[in-house]
Amino acid sequence: MRRILLALLLPLLLIGCGAKSVWAPDEAVARAAYRHNAPPSITLFTMVSNRSGSGAHSALMINAGQRVIFDPAGSWWHRLAPERNDVIYGITPTMLNFFIDYHARETYHVVMQTVEVSPETALRAQRVAEQFGASPKAFCASSTSDVLRQVPGFETIPNTMSPKKIMQAFGRLPGVRTEKIYDDDPDENLDILKAQQRARVADLVTAN
């Protein structure tokens, strides 16, 4: 009987662990490309619970030839920021603010840790993220650590499912800058996401 139940449940478990593939067309990605004039860098986002102090989500922002966000198993999106398997393009100042505002709320704050890197290292990070593929739900930290560990200078990042452990290891990197963002928005952030879709995005006009 147990074998029969396992045979019936296994396909459902595999479906639950599957990752949804999203692939924006070439023209959308090219149109959204945003080149930020700051030095090349890699930024780790960690969403931290204000109640327990535990890490809830990990993501990366990479400023290479263009600025992108690798948001494995993330739920933020914007109609003007095309996505390819967890890599989001067109991260203008407005899109960055939208991303942070979506995550920072009464129950969570956002920790931003930034390390300046060489152009070659930033490009390597972007290429690894682009080739990584879509991540299953709950694998945000694992995917983030897997990407970082393939980038020169970030080999000390642990292979872990814990966003907090990645944040702690990232904080020990030379030259890291840390910023914490708090907000008192309601925990239910669907309304914020809807408002972001309706907002006029002026900086896209001068993004390139």
Q: Are 43 and 69 in contact (CB under 8 A)?
A: no
Q: Considering the entire predicted model, what is its pTM?
A: 0.89
pLDDT in tens, 98-147: 999 999 999 999 999 999 999 999 999 999 999 999 999 999 999 999 99
What is the residue type of 14?
Answer: L
Of 69, 61, 144, 58, nearest to 108 by C-alpha is 58
The β-bridge partners of 87 are: 70, 84
pLDDT in tens, 35-73: 999 999 999 999 999 999 999 999 999 999 999 999 999
Q: Are 92 and 204 in contact (CB under 8 A)?
A: yes
